[in-house]
Amino acid sequence: MERNAERTKANILAAAVAEFSDKGFAGARVDSIAEMAGCNKGMIYQYYGSKEHLYDEVIAYEYQTLSNIEAEIIQNHTDLRELIDVIVDRYFDFLLRHPDFVKIIMWENLNEARSVKANPSLEHVKAPIIECIREAVRRGRREGIFNENANSKVVVFALITGAFSYFSNCHTLPVVLRIDLNNPEFLLSCKQIVKAGIRSYLKK
């Protein structure tokens, strides 16, 4: 068995993402993470100190993945009129491709964000996208296409939760509503509702 600290650490983190997103903090098993990571349990304690610290790292890591997407959006957007649509689309795409992310964020909310609150660097993880929207709103006002009183944080909140909500109830609602979330038309309608809601808020 080859010795490679970097690789082992990365394997542990990846395994931890899978385990914590699947079972949550209380349900996750350190043994399972070690097995998935293909390493010994002792390694986890050597590299991450405790189950709790490992969980913190997972939270930070997951927030970073979305942050990377947001950085991309910010760099590439040009047209103000299309910005909302683009962000909604990118958020839906991201969450669709990262089911782990959705779950981790849900666990962390049920955890009352204790890990997020304990990590000072996360206070600023959304700064770029907030600033991007704030600037867009400002410009939109000047150009006369956006409302004077629109609160840019309301917009960010609506963007995130609008996309998120399609995924966060994805197990119970299909049962009680007897719907199929994989239906592309259904997805399209939901995206349009989110977009229309936010556009309405900005214009009004």
**Residue 16, interface with DNA (CB under 7 A)?**
no
Q: Among residues 64, 196, 198, 192, which one has the least CA distance to residue 136?
A: 198
190 contact choice in a copy of itself, DNA, none (CB below 5 to 8 Å, kind-dependent): a copy of itself
d(C-alpha 155, C-alpha 138), whole Å: 13
Among 13, 15, 28, 150, binds DNA (CB under 7 A): 28
d(C-alpha 197, C-alpha 174), whole Å: 23
Residues that bind a copy of itself (CB under 8 A): 23-27, 63, 103, 105-113, 116-117, 122-123, 125-126, 130, 151, 153-154, 156-158, 160-162, 164-166, 168-179, 185-186, 189-190, 192-198, 200-201, 204
Among 13, 15, 16, 43, binds DNA (CB under 7 A): 43
29 contact choice in DNA, a copy of itself, none (CB below 5 to 8 Å, kind-dependent): DNA
Give the DSSP letter string of 43-98.
HHHHHHSSHHHHHHHHHHHHHHHHHHHHHHHHHH---HHHHHHHHHHHHHHHHHH-
d(C-alpha 102, C-alpha 87), whole Å: 17
- Residues that bind DNA in the complex, under the rule CB under 7 A: 1-5, 7-8, 28-31, 39-43, 45-46, 50-52
